[in-house]
Amino acid sequence: MNTPIKILLVEDNPRDAEVTLRALRKRNLGNDVIHVKDGQQALDWLFGPNPDGREDGNLPKLVLLDLKLPKIDGLEVLKAIRSDPRTRLLPVVVMTSSSEQRDVVESYERGVNSYVVKPVEFDSFSAAVAELGHYWLIVNHPTR
């Protein structure tokens, strides 16, 4: 039986994705992650018919969203998530390399729950991912 997906990781950089997944695995959160590589895939997985690993009506507990994505970029994805009644309240955390003020402001204006700049250092990056997963999946109390 499929365990319900808890984290949707939207990340085009396979290296970052690998490091992210490794960090989540270290916290035993690795099996509940689906990784998509662009904005289109993310939206398809969230709203399309019969996506891989998602049962109908089941939403992930967290979306980890990169901003700079092929096809549909992260801000667009965020906008789509926030404008759909089903996913309006879905926790979305932007994880990006950009610390540009306009990206930060734009993300918050579109209703992101958290904005995390990916640290260059592996340790900090791993720690950040692990803490994010822990917080949103275990500590945080979501809407039903």
- Contact between 106 and another protein per CB under 8 A: no
Give min distance, CB of 78 to another protein, in A.
16
- Contact between 15 and another protein per CB under 8 A: yes
- Contact between 122 and another protein per CB under 8 A: yes
Of these, 4, 31, 48, 68, which contacts another protein (CB under 8 A)? 68
Give min distance, CB of 12 to another protein, in A.
9
Of these, 6, 16, 60, 78, which contacts another protein (CB under 8 A)? 16
- Contact between 98 and another protein per CB under 8 A: yes
Terminal-to-terminal C-alpha distance of the chain: 22
Strand pairing report for 7-10 and 33-36? parallel
Strand pairing report for 62-65 and 33-36? unpaired
* Angle between the N-to-C axes of helices 74-83 and 101-109, in degrees from 0 to 180, rounded to the nearest 10: 10
- Contact between 118 and another protein per CB under 8 A: yes
Choose among 19, 63, 68: nearest CA to 43. 63
